[in-house]
Amino acid sequence: MFQKILIANRGEIALRILRACKELGIRTVAVHSTADADAMHVRLADESVCIGPPASRDSYLNMHQIVAACEITGADAIHPGYGFLSENAKFADILAAHNITFIGPSGDHIRLMGDKIEAKRTAKRLGIPVVPGSDGAVSDEKEAKRIAAEIGYPVLIKASAGGGGRGMKVARSEDELFEALTTARTEAGAAFGDDAVYIEKYLEKPRHIEVQLMGDGMGQAIHLGERDCSLQRRHQKVWEEALSPALNADQRQKIGSIVANAMAELGYSGAGTVEFLYENGEFYFIEMNTRLQVEHPVTEAITGIDLVHEQIRVASGGGLSHTQSEIRFQGHAIECRINAEDPRTFVPSPGTITHFHTPGGLGIRVDSGVYSGYKIPPYYDSLIGKLIVHGRNRVECMMRLRRALDEFVVDGINTTLPLFRDLVGNVDIANGDYDIHWLEKFLAREA
Ligand code: ADP
């Protein structure tokens, strides 16, 4: 087992990882930018190292500074959290070259899944259902027209290097194809330095359903059920639940074992998520995330398994702590992402939190790195905390969520709490009856 882990992240996830390390008796090193000197994870870590100025590229993305911090403190492993360097294959390779364990999959697996065209090809080869579309990159309009005619309109042009919904354009007819292709290519080139794009059938009313998995890197892999993350704004998840209100036990078992078998065959190591769109009873692979996800706590709530413990265990060579038949799903869990943003316009709202009071009681978990008097720096994302509620069934979970939201107080800044108070009282949400466009339509109606 590791003696000391360096946490290469900030905010709630840095604290989340620190808690897991403490429980396992592993010493922790926090790294931080000058803007985060007062952060909770810095205060609670055994050691801390300032790695640079506020801008992420000079601090949380600065590989040399982070490796140096590791060598100075004698940390034997790095947990990257999510975002920042968590899906950077070069970082995983550099750590391997320095004999520091990267708590995550191999650089090669990160690279494979980071290229969406390669990821889709691999998924298909491993027996995972994919969205009909081009087999690889599309270079010219003629080819695009032929493929679009084959799969039928509407189609979606997507960037191979894509992320965060950028470089994606819908074409509803052949007339719109050229412009969609050109715009997607230009956007992708500007955002990712890679203008390769591919074509997919555009699904009109899908849900976003993703399967959590763990692999031991030696040919064993299990799945931990799914999460439904259909409530999104601009392709960003807002509310996530486990299990999905749309699946039955058979469907769950079927897609779960397809994913687990595929990851076993790949020899995948650590935590990962295979994301699907789900429409008319069919699953369509869209991408794989080779890291811990923001919404992992809903899976922890229904399985009782600490995913960060598992990641650390697998990375240290200890293998998986459960077989598939030992995984049981209990009750229902919902997560609300609380952002420091205006609840209507979503304009970021940095500043000082004058009062911060979190709800408590049975089935409530709050993962947050902020506190009363904390000044939110303007340099990073606006997530200030996650409220995760667990109940014996979805109805109990929703009732508990409603009262937890009533108890939650954040003064001094705007937050998205009022949005969740609206959602929890909505009849479609109560019925679990929503697709990936539901939230945008709801917000447009409210505006
Ligand atoms: P990114 O990596 O940019 O987040 P994804 O492939 O994960 O891109 O897709 C992000 C979101 O875009 C999905 O959650 C879904 O809302 C939408 N999307 C992606 N592919 C399709 C598709 N073929 N049809 C309809 N919507 C899609």
Residue-wise pLDDT for 209-237, tens only, equals 999 999 999 999 999 999 999 999 998 99
Q: What is the mean pLDDT of the chain?
A: 97
Q: Distance between CA atoms of 399 and 377, rounded to whole angstroms? A: 34
Q: Does position 163 have pLDDT exceeding 90, yes or no?
A: no
Q: What is the pLDDT of residue 186?
A: 93
Q: Distance between CA atoms of 384 and 415, rounded to whole angstroms? A: 9
Q: Distance between CA atoms of 255 and 210, rounded to whole angstroms? A: 10
Ligand 1 centroid from CA 96, angstroms? 32
Per-residue pLDDT tens for 98-147? 999 999 999 999 999 999 999 999 999 999 999 999 999 998 899 999 99
Q: Does position 185 have pLDDT exceeding 80, yes or no?
A: yes
Q: Does position 165 have pLDDT exceeding 90, yes or no?
A: no
Ligand 1 centroid from CA 442, angstroms? 19
Q: Does position 422 have pLDDT exceeding 80, yes or no?
A: yes
Q: What is the pLDDT of residue 95?
A: 98
In Å, what is the CA distance from 123 to each residue of 6, 112, 251, 288?
Answer: 32, 10, 19, 9
Residues of the chain with pLDDT > 70, as a percent, come to: 100
Q: Distance between CA atoms of 11 and 44, rounded to whole angstroms? A: 12
Would you tell me how many other CB atoms lie within 10 Å of the CB of residue 137?
14
Ligand 1 site-directed mutation target among 160, 168, 244, 435, most atoms within 8 Å of CB: 168
Q: What is the pLDDT of residue 442?
A: 97
Q: What is the pLDDT of residue 447?
A: 78
Q: What is the pLDDT of residue 139?
A: 84
In Å, what is the CA distance from 360 to each residue of 348, 390, 404, 406?
Answer: 27, 12, 7, 11
Cis peptide leading into 126, omega within 30 of 0?
Answer: no
Would you tell me how many other CB atoms lie within 10 Å of the CB of residue 257?
14
Active-site entry in 291, 313, 337, 394: 291
Q: Does position 323 have pLDDT exceeding 90, yes or no?
A: yes
